[in-house]
Amino acid sequence: MSFTSHIFYFIIVICIAIRKGNGASIEVLPGETVPPNTPTLTLKCTAASGSDITDIFAIYLYKDDQPMASIVGGNPPQLHTGFDSMKYTASRNLPNTEPLNFLQVDIANPDCGDGNEYKCKLSASNGGGPISPNPEDIKSITVETSPSDLTFSVNPDKIIYFEDDEVTITCIGKVGDPVQPWLWERKLSGALDWESYPDSSDITNGALVPPSAGECSFSRESVLTKVLKSPEDGMSLRCLMDGVVVGLKDFTVYYGPSLVTLTPPSVDPVFEGDDISAVTCNHGTCNPYCVLEWYKDNNLVPTNDGVLELTNVERSQAGTYICRVSNPTIPDSEMTASLSVDVHYGPNSVHLTPPTIDPIIEGNAMTPVTCSPVDCNPYCEQGWYNENNLVPTNNGVLELTNVDRSQAGTYIYGPKSVDLTPTIIDPILEGYDMAPVTCSHDDCNPPCELEWFKDNTLITNDAVLELMNVNRSEAGTYICKVFNSAIPGSEIEQNFAVEVYYGPDFIHINSSKTVGLIEFEDVAPIPCWTHCNPKCDIKWYNGSIDDGNLISGVNGELELFNVSRSQQAIFYCEVSHPFNSDGRLNDSIDLQVYYGPELVQIKPDNIDSVAEGTSLQVTCSANCNPVCQFTWYFQSQESGYIKPATGGVLNLPNIYRNEAGLYICEVNQAEIVNSSKTVEIEIHVHCPSSEVHITTEPSKEEYEVDESVSFTCSGEFSSGTNPSWKWQKSSANGQEWADYVNFTVSDPSDDGCSYRQDTTISITINADDDGSDIRCIKDENEDLSISLTLKVKSNDKNGGCENYAKFIILVCSLLALFRLKFLNHDAFMVFTGSVIRESYALTTPHNTNSTLVMSRNGEDMSVHGTEDGANNGSNGQNNGENLEEHDSINMQTNTVENTETNVQSISNPKEKFLVDSLNLRRKLLVNDTSSKMKELQYNMVTSSDYNPIMDSYKSWLNILEEYQIVHNEYQDVLDDSEREVYYLVNIKNLNQR
């Protein structure tokens, strides 16, 4: 194969890409399905594991075909429009000077808007050239949304409920995506664990509402409606969403009495003086308690724990007894049961008409005497007796005709009447003495007997009844009984009632000590009660009892409507006895009216601009009860960037430019659902000007005459300013400064706080520049200036030749690659000698004699230059062949850092071979990651001595051999003769690399 063919095949190897399939990979953390509240979604775009990709030139990341982020070459990662907020962070594996491995984008607090199709695309090679089409990978990501904005409400929302009250509990809000169900749980009084609410018929779930524009979550409400019963006192109900308790309601249910019964339900008639068996009044359980009382003729009948006991029954105790059971905390809760008591008695007294008769002459008739019994139940039968012998009568009328002496005798009598003095006793305050009561009666024959009874219990036989230090148990009916023991059924009686005033002994408010409600709501009735006789006066006061305002109430209940914050106070309930000035008790509750937030404001309310590095304090205030809760957000509430603050005070110490932006103060009131209010402030940060910096390209200690040098001045300046620039050069003695006219100024790059601007000037070094100063000045202010001193090499006649010789050595180093792969040793030496000779002749100045000798494997190769440069000779031994003629090679002495040479503009095959080799080495130097290669690149560019160049050349050969081994797949291409045709057809389409 000809030498020219080797050159063609080498170019083909560089230009042809060998693609082994798709090698891109997009890694997603935590996964393609992102759980709610994930702090960071990470997208990592890189080469797939096991792929044949050797070099990555650029990485691109797309969201639904919209450019999101990219890295090209050694540049830093760039976030594209729409993804350049603080929500997104782009990073790469190593410092920007290192080869590229991956592009990573972190998305803070991802939401449903971040769920989409993401594509990773690489611009890469696999060692045989660029891969086409570009490798790519696509992942579809779903970001789940957790439930939010959940509310819990109760209607009616009261502290105390009554049995059979209907209550509706509503839970509503955003239920996430995927949709999470509402769950209801119950815990009965005394239970340790929660249980699922048992009756699903009480629960109504509303329709699922799709997310609105800009929202991520579905919405739904769930309503539980139930009628409260007594077993549900102390019950708690709660609704949950995604395992989180949204709201909880504890229920206090007042109930009872449910039913009142008597045991026994009735009693048989009793005779006066007998006992009635105990009658128990029964009722169901009551909460908080029930009051049981027996009444007869609307008069309270004293009992023992609600058990009616009547002993030694009197006729006055006959009648209907009513057991009344009521729950004093529940209006209209009274229930009753009645008992009928029938007492058989009499006659209470007997009246004779006429009461006396005159003596009768024997044989005459006696005036008829009528016997009239008094007060019998049932009807009394009458009988006349003489000396205990029954005397026949006609309907109780004693008629004696033709009286004889045997009918004479004593007829017994009395009593006829009983009187009490005084007849009526005023009510007695408990603890006081009762005024004495005297019982008197008319004449009896034989004398009558007298007894005092209460509740069928004999108290005394004295005619005068006295009660000392009376207590409430002594209230009741007292009976004075008078009877003639000689006359059966002659007992008559008189009674009077003793009423004892007592109380209050205690006071109770059916409520917690603190009652809270939202402003303009109503206060559910709060009962205040005690036990008194007669009923105590119950009054409510707003404020202290002595100075407060009296509030009217019904049945001792405090009930307020449309309550405003001005009504927030401590409310006192006072119970007092109407007839006892010392009988007063009181208790209180604290009524808290919830309101706010109101008057939400920020101070200072307008901040024009804050200097970077200074400290700033912003106070957010509002009016709330209870105390407001403050949260500061940066940029948006949805982003979740919460700034730490104490009591609404936002402190920004040493503020930095990236802290400029919108700050949102959110104020919440914990006791009021959906009470959130926000106020915003825009904070601008301006940055002081930084020092001015100067750089040179190339950067050297000394410069050559006629060398082009660029000087760049840069700095950061406050936004909104318009700086001016000036370039000057001083004379060698530094006495005078001369202005430059032609220089460039870049467009400013503004980050909102400051902008960076560069100015560049390019000059050609002259010999007289040695010792001169170059400086740039900003805004005519020498305090904002920087300068450097130029050093120029002395330009002797051999200086240029030395540089060109170094260049030739570098070229030879590059050609070592092709000797190793394409040519045998001798052919390589001949070809290299030819190239060096011709290149040296083209680049060596006239009037110079130079000889460069290179040796490899014991063979010498000499290059000679003549004074006028007209004749050039090259002697190289290659198997007896002498290559005298050759084409001249014209190329510029660019270093590896310069722009690649354009192959299309070169027609000579040898030139193409050499230039393409040099371009390949440039590319390897840029893309190789080894520190060895980087060190070599630095030495080859910066070394000015001959020996380091030769050392670099030796290292270079070792690297090239390693490179050939790694890329041995090129051999198949080189052996394919058809590749030469490919080159001839496509060489014109090659672009500058």
Give the range with max mean pLDDT: 176-190, 263-277, 655-669, 847-861: 176-190
pLDDT at 510: 84
Residues 517 and 485 in one domain: no
In which order are the strands placed within the sheet that holds 335-341? 299-301, 291-296, 319-326, 335-341
771 vs 972, more confident: 771
pLDDT at 807: 47
Average pLDDT over residues 89-96: 65
Residues 457 and 520 in one domain: no
For residue 818, give the nearest of 159, 14, 281 by alpha carbon: 14
Domain limits for position 224: 151-254
Quickly list DSSP for 184-243. Answer: EEEE-TT-SS-EE-S-GGGEEE-PPBPP-TT---EEEEEEEEEE--GGGTT-EEEEEETT
* Mean pLDDT for the chain overall: 76
Residue 97 lies in a domain: no
- Whether residue 806 is predicted with pLDDT greater than 90 in this model: the reply is no
Residue 845 lies in a domain: no
- Whether residue 96 is predicted with pLDDT greater than 60 in this model: the reply is no
Are residues 66 and 103 in contact, defined by beta-carbon separation less than 8 angstroms? no
pLDDT at 427: 92
In angstroms, the Cα distances linking 856 to 189, 827, 828, 860 are: 102, 12, 10, 7
- Whether residue 1 is predicted with pLDDT greater than 70 in this model: the reply is no
Residues 156 and 218 in one domain: yes
Residues 155 and 227 in one domain: yes
Average pLDDT over residues 421-445: 89
pLDDT at 958: 53
pLDDT (tens digit per residue) in 545-560? 777 688 877 778 888 8
384-386 and 389-391 as β-strands: parallel, antiparallel, unpaired? antiparallel
Q: Using 50, 70 and 90 to split pLDDT, how confident is the model at 753?
A: low
pLDDT at 793: 84
Q: CA–CA separation, 393 vs 382, rounded Å?
A: 9
- DSSP class of residue 905? G
- Whether residue 798 is predicted with pLDDT greater than 70 in this model: the reply is no
pLDDT at 550: 82
Residue 209 lies in a domain: yes
pLDDT (tens digit per residue) in 523-546? 888 889 888 988 888 989 888 777
pLDDT at 974: 38
Out of 105-119, 307-321, 834-848, which region has the weakest mean confidence (pLDDT)? Answer: 834-848
Average pLDDT over residues 803-830: 44
% of the chain beyond a pLDDT of 90 = 25
- Whether residue 846 is predicted with pLDDT greater than 60 in this model: the reply is no
Average pLDDT over residues 805-823: 45
Residues 223 and 241 in one domain: yes
Out of 2-11, 344-353, 609-618, 732-741, which region has the weakest mean confidence (pLDDT)? Answer: 2-11
Residues 537 and 618 in one domain: no
Residue 889 lies in a domain: no
Q: CA–CA separation, 907 vs 875, rounded Å?
A: 26
- Whether residue 955 is predicted with pLDDT greater than 80 in this model: the reply is no
Domain-terminating residue out of 501, 521, 543: 501
pLDDT at 949: 45
Q: Using 50, 70 and 90 to split pLDDT, how confident is the model at 29?
A: very high
Out of 80-89, 616-625, 886-895, which region has the weakest mean confidence (pLDDT)? Answer: 886-895
Residue 847 lies in a domain: no
Residue 614 lies in a domain: yes
Q: CA–CA separation, 773 vs 238, rounded Å?
A: 82
Out of 55-69, 446-460, 742-756, which region has the weakest mean confidence (pLDDT)? Answer: 742-756
Buried b (16+ CB within 10 A) or exposed e, 461-500: eebebebeebeeebbbbbbbbbbbeebebbbbbbbbebeb
Residues 491 and 550 in one domain: no
- DSSP class of residue 470? -
Q: Using 50, 70 and 90 to split pLDDT, how confident is the model at 340?
A: very high
For residue 688, give the nearest of 725, 724, 717 by alpha carbon: 717
Residues 513 and 574 in one domain: yes
pLDDT (tens digit per residue) in 870-929? 333 333 333 333 323 333 223 333 333 334 445 445 555 545 544 555 555 554 444 444
Give the range with max mean pLDDT: 317-331, 606-620, 623-637, 740-754: 317-331
Q: Using 50, 70 and 90 to split pLDDT, how confident is the model at 396?
A: confident
Q: Going by C-beta distance under 8 Å and a sequence separation of 6 or more, which residues neighbour residue 167?
A: 154, 155, 156, 161, 225, 226, 228, 251
Residues 167 and 236 in one domain: yes
Q: CA–CA separation, 310 vs 442, rounded Å?
A: 29
Are residues 826 and 819 in contact, defined by beta-carbon separation less than 8 angstroms? no
pLDDT at 714: 83
Q: Using 50, 70 and 90 to split pLDDT, how confident is the model at 739?
A: confident
- DSSP class of residue 904? G
pLDDT at 733: 66
944 vs 853, more confident: 944
Residues 587 and 641 in one domain: no
Q: Look up the CATH number of the domain holding residue 190.
A: 2.60.40.10
Are residues 518 and 485 in contact, defined by beta-carbon separation less than 8 angstroms? no
pLDDT at 127: 76
Q: Using 50, 70 and 90 to split pLDDT, how confident is the model at 734?
A: low
Domain count, the chain: 6
pLDDT at 388: 65
Please give the angle made by the CA atoms of 166, 167 and 172, to the nearest 5 degrees: 145
Residues 785 and 709 in one domain: yes
Average pLDDT over residues 300-323: 88
809 vs 262, more confident: 262
Residues 241 and 211 in one domain: yes
Residue 583 lies in a domain: yes
pLDDT at 879: 35
Residue 803 lies in a domain: no
In angstroms, the Cα distances linking 509 to 234, 290, 557, 590 are: 18, 15, 9, 12
Domain-terminating residue out of 290, 310, 344: 344
Domain-terminating residue out of 236, 254, 272: 254
pLDDT (tens digit per residue) in 662-717? 888 999 888 888 888 999 998 888 776 666 788 888 888 888 888 899 989 887 77
748 vs 483, more confident: 483
Q: Going by C-beta distance under 8 Å and a sequence separation of 6 or more, which residues neighbour residue 260?
A: 281, 282, 283, 323, 325, 335, 336, 337
pLDDT (tens digit per residue) in 349-379? 677 888 788 888 778 888 888 887 767 787 7
pLDDT at 224: 96
Average pLDDT over residues 24-31: 91
